[in-house]
């Protein structure tokens, strides 16, 4: 017998160059919450397109998505 | 002229319609820690600070962030494209910066390969064009090349920032004549960006007529960064005053200050 799936199917995505899994239906906002990142400090790019903060909650992640989550650090 | 409450007649300068009193822009990189960054920047009197855009460390999202030590409501953040070697990467980086902070005023730099990291002017011109078209206000790091500087100005860049010498080299202003030539031909602010190693070199940039100076390593890599930040603050003020005062002519022969009449015999 196959084991029962107890949670939603996971999607494989890549965040800042690292593979990650998120639940199917997860949004950018869900991902950031899971990562513990606060809104005023980061910006998100998905497959080379900026995801505006106002669209985080409505943007669902898809298999194979490549995300960049960036912030400001010291620099000259 | 923008009305931002500063007293009229003071020696402030304007870039992209924003007025600033301090003519020193400092980087926020290469310090020992964020506490030292904050203390040095405060001591410098700078109102604008450059910042880099990088991936968040996902394994430690609660790590202290620059904003907690250098608050963006107190300092004007000038996001840079440090580390970008193509126009595409630079434009992409600044679009992310605009999204992260909502700032249109940016520092563009597109660099050639080590060991000089000299500005790649072909890529810089390409990126500047795309950014200006996209509504950015571009302060641009560039070669000390008056032809390229003029093109960048005509393209709509809001400040021209030729290097004094290679980034982080501390070699000072290797071609003061070209810096002065760019200052004289430009109708937007010219800043020396990169190469300043000590206070006299920051003063020299201002004596050449620059509107302001941008530096980072000269403070961060000094033995005592906070003290060097104070020195740079005064150097920029002194250099600016000397420029406005107008230096005396150089002469190949002595010209004594004391009267030659009335000498004892």
What is the rounded distance in angstroms from the CA atom of residue B49 to the CA atom of residue B44?
11
Q: Quick check: A4 pLDDT over 70?
A: no
Q: Do A72 and B56 touch (CB under 8 A)?
A: no
Annotated catalytic residues of B are 107
pLDDT band at A1 (very low <50, low <70, confident <90, very high): very low
pLDDT band at A5 (very low <50, low <70, confident <90, very high): very low
Written as six digits, the tokens of B152 are 């960048």
Q: Do B97 and A44 touch (CB under 8 A)?
A: no
Q: Quick check: A3 pLDDT over 60?
A: no
Which of B52, B61, B95 is nearest residue A50 as measured by Cβ atoms? B95
Answer whether B77 touches A (CB < 8 Å).
yes
CB A74 within 8 A of CB B31: yes
**Residue closest to B235 by CA, chosen among B183, B209, B198, B190:** B198
Q: In angstroms, what is the C-alpha Rg of chain A? A: 14
Residue with the bigger pLDDT between B47 and A42: it is: B47
What does the pLDDT read at residue B57? 86
Residue with the bigger pLDDT between A35 and B154: it is: B154
Q: Do A75 and B29 touch (CB under 8 A)?
A: yes
What does the pLDDT read at residue B218? 97
Positions of chain B with pLDDT under 50: 1-2
Mean of all residue pLDDT scores within chain A: 86
pLDDT band at A39 (very low <50, low <70, confident <90, very high): low
Q: Is it true that the peptide bond before B216 is cis, omega within 30 degrees of 0?
A: no
Q: Do A70 and B53 touch (CB under 8 A)?
A: yes
Answer whether B31 touches A (CB < 8 Å).
yes
**What chain A residue is nearest to B89 in terms of C-alpha separation?**
A48
> How close is the nearest chain A Cα to the Cα of B130, in Å?
16
Q: A75: which residues sit within 8 A by CB, 6+ positions away?
A: B27, B28, B29, B50, B51, B52, B80, B82, B216
> How close is the nearest chain A Cα to the Cα of B45, in Å?
16
């Amino acid at each position: 017998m196959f084991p029962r799936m107890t949670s939603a199917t996971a999607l494989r995505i890549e965040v800042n160059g690292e593979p990650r899994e998120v639940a199917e239906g997860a949004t950018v906002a869900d991902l950031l919450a899971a990562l513990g990142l606060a809104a005023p400090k980061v910006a998100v790019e998905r497959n080379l397109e900026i995801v505006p903060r106002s669209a985080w909650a409505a943007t669902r992640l898809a298999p194979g998505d490549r995300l960049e989550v960036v912030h400001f650090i010291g620099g000259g | 002229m923008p009305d931002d409450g500063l007293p009229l007649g003071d020696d402030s300068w304007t870039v992209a319609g924003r007025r600033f009193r301090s003519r020193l822009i400092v980087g926020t990189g290469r310090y020992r820690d964020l506490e030292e960054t904050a203390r040095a920047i405060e001591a410098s009197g700078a109102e604008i600070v450059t910042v880099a855009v990088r991936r968040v460390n996902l394994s430690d999202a609660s790590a202290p962030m620059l904003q907690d030590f250098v608050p963006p409501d107190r300092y004007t953040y000038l996001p840079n494209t440090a580390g970008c070697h193509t126009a595409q990467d630079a434009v992409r980086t600044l679009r992310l910066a605009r999204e992260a902070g909502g700032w249109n005023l940016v520092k563009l730099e597109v660099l050639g390969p080590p060991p000089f990291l000299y500005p790649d002017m072909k890529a810089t011109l390409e990126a500047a064009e795309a950014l200006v078209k996209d509504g950015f206000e571009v302060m641009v790091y560039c070669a000390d090349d008056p032809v390229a500087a003029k093109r960048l100005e005509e393209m709509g860049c809001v400040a021209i920032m030729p290097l004094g010498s290679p980034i982080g080299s501390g070699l000072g202003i290797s071609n003061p004549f070209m810096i002065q030539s760019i200052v004289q031909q430009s109708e937007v602010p010219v800043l020396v960006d990169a190469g300043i190693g000590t206070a006299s070199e920051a003063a020299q940039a201002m004596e050449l007529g620059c509107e302001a100076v941008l530096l980072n390593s000269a403070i961060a890599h000094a033995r005592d960064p906070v003290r060097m930040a104070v020195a740079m603050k005064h150097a920029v003020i002194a250099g600016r005053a000397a420029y406005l005062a107008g230096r005396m002519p150089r002469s190949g022969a002595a010209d004594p200050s004391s009267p030659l009449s009335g000498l004892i015999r």
